[in-house]
Chain A
Amino acid sequence: MSIVGENRIWQRFLYFYIPLGLFVAFLLMPFYWMFVVSLRPTADLLNRVRNPFLIYSVTLNHYRFLFEDTAFTTWMKNTLIVTVCATLLSLFCAILIGYALGRFQFRMGNFLGAAIFIAYLVPPTLLFIPLAQIISEYQLYNSYWALILTYPTFLIPFASWLLMGYFRTISAELEDAALVDGASRLQAMRQIVLPLAMPGVLSAGIFCFTLAWNEFLYALVFMGTAEMKTIPVGVVSDLIKADTFMWGPLMAAGILGSVPVAIAYSFFVDNYVSGLTAGATKG
């Protein structure tokens, strides 16, 4: 005798929970590995007898080293300042660009859209040398502004494209109604379109935040002194000694460096998903 629904439960496990579990395990594996290595004593890390995925004894020495023997808190502060400022600046510009390109028909509009996309494709490894000259001429070298003003070179094109698509999904009639009721174009944009576009703006913001948080090359070449390093640069320069990696502190820094990004994602995950999928079914 079979029970009603038995098949369905079995199928849900086979086709949903098990693949989902494997996928989650795959995605979380790097974090688990970082966590395990950051808590195991250094001598344990090279022990071939013990299972490398398990923790046999816990030490906080790697975290202590990070906070007491390196300038990790300074790196964290620098990264936060630069990332937040560059993200806000980029979002502001990207909203204006995305709105203009997504809403208006004007000469060269399509060309501008394509040009912005192409700008995103220029790799930082080509851009950093001419940018270095500009940074020097404006005497921004080794200041927060050096990064706050250069990160938008790759953040704005990406965010603009994302927002351009999002603005196109919002009905123009809503805005027209506001204009008929006497709102200015800016008021209509700020009070009608932007609130509706908030999921897209948050998605763009999270992407900008993540890209800026993890950026390495510009932070390496435009920040000259130890007290101005960001986390990606500080970790590489202070925790890798020639060909020897300080794995414990490196993984501890990896865990702590991931926290702000994880928080940003967890707060806005619903908006983020709807922002990404907006327009996906638009005919």
Chain B
Amino acid sequence: MTDPKVDGLIAEARTLRYSRRQVMRRAAALGLSVPAVTAAMTTSGYAAPNQTRKFASAPAFLQGSSIHILGASYFVVAGEERFREQMAEFGEQNGVDVTLDLVAWPDLQARIAAAIQAQDGVDIVQLWDPWPYLYAENLVDVNDIAVPHGEAHGGFYDWVVKTASVDGSWHSIPYGTSSSAFAYRTSHFAEVGYDSFPDTWEDLFAAGKALKEAGLPPLGQALGHSLGDPPSFTYPYMWAYGAMEVEEDGSTVAFNTPEFVEGMATFIQGWEDAFDTTGTAWDDSTNNTAFLAGELSATLNGSSIYISAGRPEADGGVPEIYEDMNHADFPQGPAGRFTNIGAQSWGVTTFAQDVDAARSFLDFFYGEDQLVSWYNANGGYYIPAASSFSELPVYTEDPKLAPFLNLVNYGRNKGFAGPSDEAAALAYSEYIVIDTFARAVGDGDAQGAVEWGAEQLERVYSR
């Protein structure tokens, strides 16, 4: 008795004139056993175009292969467990040995750089924005998987296209991102007269000042050399006050503007009035710990604080904060409301041991059922890359997480208004925008800090 799914695949292959390899990849994506499909193909007499050979036995083009995956450590344990299950499922079905190596995400680039130099060691790699630009030459073209996947799910968001595709071509397949919104204590803000989170940056600073004056915990923001929270704050603030790293041409620096200098002066005052000023030495984890310890009234962060607070007390959960906290959109400035958002994706290296096996795994992982189960396991931690996934219950059933989905409507890429290219990546990794803010609050000279930042950006973008 044949499996209706296998029959369906054979029919699909006949209609769309799939090659044998395409059939196998599709089989893997549908979660079908490759030997079963090849056997059915032989029985049905199917031969792909330009092929005369019929399979006497399973060709098993994947069997015996191995895939080594490199990614960042998971925040949500269930998400990692689900991914490992998917690896095992794919491996069992196709006789492929799939292994996973997880490292802390700031260490990913060192691993990728070494693997590229050695042309060895990694078959599938997780990429954060704007890395696809940096490593495009060492990544296999995956347009044939990414394009249909995006089209089948309402299309990729604009911010995804800008940060994960390279000049319109896909060298990795995006799944979304873990981005930031303001986590805040509703009771603290209510105590100083704010029933909802302030809608402008200046209002936020005023609220923070009121919190401090009332003896309540202040606002908290990392401005140290960290790749997560500091850029999540500084880039949107820069855009909200009319500045950008560069114009649309990707090389004309548009950082030193009178509006931004004025905005920076406002921030310097706000920092003193409303924030915990030790934030210049914070990294990505400090605000999480401080918020969960009740030492902050608001901070910019991913949903990790909320998810941590909701855990059982024995595991570090803090029920009273979980109940009291909420999330809010980024405040707006004179130029509008913005956030920095960039897609994360999976790519196959050109030096993979078996490129076909690695591509097949991605085809399998991005199959609708698989990807949805992975999004669900992550409990809404990742904003999806394609619009139709945003309607999943995991994203809509908890109203406190709604602001994270709103980010897709006003997100900009690093390097905006230019592309998220190598120069944008360099400016990001040199912390230029972040250091501009840190200098400003350090010496109180808004004009001097912005001029310094503009000089640094000129150097980077004129290369």
Distance A241 CA – B285 CA, assembled complex (angstroms): 10
Residues of B within 8 A of A36 (CB): none
B103 engages A43 (CB within 8 Å): no
Residues of B within 8 A of A128 (CB): 110, 114
Contact of B119 among A136, A142, A226, A233 (CB under 8 A): A136
For chain A residues 147-198, which have a beta carbon within 8 Å of chain B? none
B178 engages A237 (CB within 8 Å): no
For chain A residues 223-265, which have a beta carbon within 8 Å of chain B? 224-226, 233, 236-238, 240-245, 247
**Interface residue A130 (Cβ < 8 Å from any Cβ of B):** yes
Q: How far is the CB of B323 from chain A (nearest CB, A)?
A: 16
**Interface residue A107 (Cβ < 8 Å from any Cβ of B):** no
Q: How far is the CB of A48 from chain B (nearest CB, A)?
A: 6
The binding surface of chain B is classed by DSSP as: mixed
Q: Which bucket holds chain A's interface residue count?
A: 35 or more
A217 engages B293 (CB within 8 Å): no
Distance A43 CA – B319 CA, assembled complex (angstroms): 11
Distance A226 CA – B117 CA, assembled complex (angstroms): 22
Q: How far is the CB of B353 from chain A (nearest CB, A)?
A: 12
Q: How far is the CB of A283 from chain B (nearest CB, A)?
A: 47
Residues of B within 8 A of A110 (CB): none
A245 engages B314 (CB within 8 Å): no
B101 engages A224 (CB within 8 Å): yes
**Interface residue A129 (Cβ < 8 Å from any Cβ of B):** yes
Residue of B nearest to A247 (CB): B289
Residue of B nearest to A220 (CB): B107
Contact with A along B222-253 (1 / 0, CB 8 A): 00000011000000000000000000000000
- A245 and B118 contact, Cβ closer than 8 Å, known pairs A128-B110, A221-B111: no
Distance A179 CA – B308 CA, assembled complex (angstroms): 72
Residues of A within 8 A of B285 (CB): 240, 243-245
Q: Which of B8-16, B67-75, B422-430 contacts A (4 or more CB under 8 A)?
A: B67-75
Residue of B nearest to A245 (CB): B285
Q: How far is the CB of B238 from chain A (nearest CB, A)?
A: 22
Contact of B103 among A136, A220, A245, A247 (CB under 8 A): A220
Residue of B nearest to A141 (CB): B121
Residue of B nearest to A217 (CB): B110
The binding surface of chain A is classed by DSSP as: helix
For chain B residues 272-327, which have a beta carbon within 8 Å of chain A? 284-285, 288-289, 292-295, 301-302, 304, 308, 313-318
A240 engages B104 (CB within 8 Å): yes
**Interface residue B99 (Cβ < 8 Å from any Cβ of A):** yes
Distance A147 CA – B178 CA, assembled complex (angstroms): 34
B74 engages A241 (CB within 8 Å): yes
Contact with A along B31-73 (1 / 0, CB 8 A): 0000000000000000000000000000000000000101011
Residues of B within 8 A of A247 (CB): 289
Q: How far is the CB of B301 from chain A (nearest CB, A)?
A: 7
Q: How far is the CB of B350 from chain A (nearest CB, A)?
A: 14
B178 engages A225 (CB within 8 Å): no
**Interface residue B199 (Cβ < 8 Å from any Cβ of A):** no
Residues of B within 8 A of A244 (CB): 75, 285, 288, 304, 308
Residues of A within 8 A of B18 (CB): none
**Interface residue A95 (Cβ < 8 Å from any Cβ of B):** no
Q: How far is the CB of B163 from chain A (nearest CB, A)?
A: 19
**Interface residue A133 (Cβ < 8 Å from any Cβ of B):** yes
For chain B residues 302-360, which have a beta carbon within 8 Å of chain A? 302, 304, 308, 313-318
**Interface residue A45 (Cβ < 8 Å from any Cβ of B):** yes
**Interface residue B389 (Cβ < 8 Å from any Cβ of A):** no
Residues of A within 8 A of B115 (CB): 132, 221
Contact of A237 among B102, B301, B314 (CB under 8 A): B102
Contact of A221 among B105, B114, B289 (CB under 8 A): B114
A136 engages B75 (CB within 8 Å): no
A45 engages B304 (CB within 8 Å): no
Contact of B315 among A42, A132, A222 (CB under 8 A): A42
Residues of A within 8 A of B293 (CB): 46-48
**Interface residue B262 (Cβ < 8 Å from any Cβ of A):** no
Residues of B within 8 A of A220 (CB): 103, 107, 110-111
Q: Which of B99, B117, B285 has the most CB of A within 10 A?
A: B117
- A129 and B114 contact, Cβ closer than 8 Å, known pairs A43-B313, A243-B301: yes
**Interface residue B85 (Cβ < 8 Å from any Cβ of A):** no
Distance A244 CA – B107 CA, assembled complex (angstroms): 15
Distance A225 CA – B70 CA, assembled complex (angstroms): 9
Q: Which of B70, B99, B316 has the most CB of A within 10 A?
A: B316
Distance A192 CA – B101 CA, assembled complex (angstroms): 50
Q: How far is the CB of B351 from chain A (nearest CB, A)?
A: 10
A233 engages B101 (CB within 8 Å): no
Distance A129 CA – B115 CA, assembled complex (angstroms): 9
- A224 and B314 contact, Cβ closer than 8 Å, known pairs A128-B110, A233-B103: no
**Interface residue B455 (Cβ < 8 Å from any Cβ of A):** no
Residues of B within 8 A of A43 (CB): 313-314, 316-317
Distance A243 CA – B73 CA, assembled complex (angstroms): 10
Residue of B nearest to A236 (CB): B104
**Interface residue B113 (Cβ < 8 Å from any Cβ of A):** yes
**Interface residue B191 (Cβ < 8 Å from any Cβ of A):** no
A129 engages B117 (CB within 8 Å): yes
B301 engages A242 (CB within 8 Å): no
Residues of A within 8 A of B294 (CB): 46, 48
Residues of A within 8 A of B228 (CB): 243
Residue of B nearest to A248 (CB): B316
Contact of A245 among B68, B70, B100, B289 (CB under 8 A): B289
B114 engages A45 (CB within 8 Å): no
Distance A244 CA – B72 CA, assembled complex (angstroms): 13
- Can you offer 26 A-B residue contacts whose CB atoms are under 8 A? A42-B314, A43-B313, A43-B314, A46-B293, A46-B318, A132-B114, A132-B118, A135-B118, A136-B119, A137-B118, A220-B107, A220-B110, A225-B99, A226-B101, A233-B103, A236-B103, A236-B104, A236-B107, A240-B73, A240-B104, A241-B73, A242-B74, A242-B284, A243-B75, A243-B302, A245-B288
Interface residues of A, Cβ cutoff 8 Å to B: 41-43, 45-48, 128-130, 132-133, 135-137, 141-142, 217, 220-222, 224-226, 233, 236-238, 240-245, 247
Given known contacts A236-B103, A242-B304, A247-B289, what 6 new A-B pairs fall within 8 Å (CB)?
Answer: A42-B315, A129-B113, A141-B120, A220-B111, A242-B73, A243-B301
Smallest CB-CB A-B distances: 10 pairs = A136-B118, A242-B75, A132-B114, A221-B114, A243-B284, A42-B316, A136-B120, A132-B118, A46-B293, A237-B103
